[in-house]
Amino acid sequence: MNYVILAAILFSIGSAAVLLRRNAIVAFMGVELMLNAANLALVAFSRMFGELDGQIMAFFVMVVAAAEVVVGLAIIIALFRARQTISLDEPAELKG
């Protein structure tokens, strides 16, 4: 159960990073931390229930996270090419 609480704390830190940081890459690392916290909770529950399914779900989450990182970083690079910055506050074109 301790591990689940640890996962909750890590998830909150990750969400705070996403909310507070303006650097796109740092915010993205916050997303990674949140995914890892979810993984930790899955593995902890798998241990508690004595079943393997939690670990397999965590494995799937890792694969999805890897795919997400590839696409996300490609988007960040495309954004950087277009406007020479990776600040999340810069793109304000949609503002009315």
Partner 1 sequence: MVNEVLFWIVAFLTVIPSLALLFAKRPVHIAMSIVTVMVGLAAAYVGLGAPFLGVVQIVVYTGAVMMMFLFVLMLVGVDQREDLKETIKGQKWIGFAGSIGLAILLIAVIGKVTMEPRITGVEGNPEEIALQLFSEYVLVMEVLGFLLITAAVGALVLTHVPRLTPRRTQVELAEARVLAGANPVNKPMPGVYARHNALDVPALDPEGNVIEDSVSRVLEIRHQTQDGAEFRAHLENPEQKGGDDK
Using CB under 8 A, list all residues that contact partner 1: 1-6, 8-17, 19-23, 25-26, 28-30, 32-33, 36, 39-40, 43-44, 46-53, 55-56, 58-60, 62-71, 73-78, 80-81, 85-87, 89, 92
CA–CA separation, 54 vs 95, rounded Å? 43
Residue 63 or 96 having the CB closest to partner 1: 63
Q: Side-chain half-sphere of 45: how many Cα atoms within 13 Å? A: 13
Give the shortest CB-51-to-partner 1 separation in angstroms. Answer: 7
Checking 11-20 for CB contacts under 8 A at 24+ apart, the result is: 11/37, 11/38
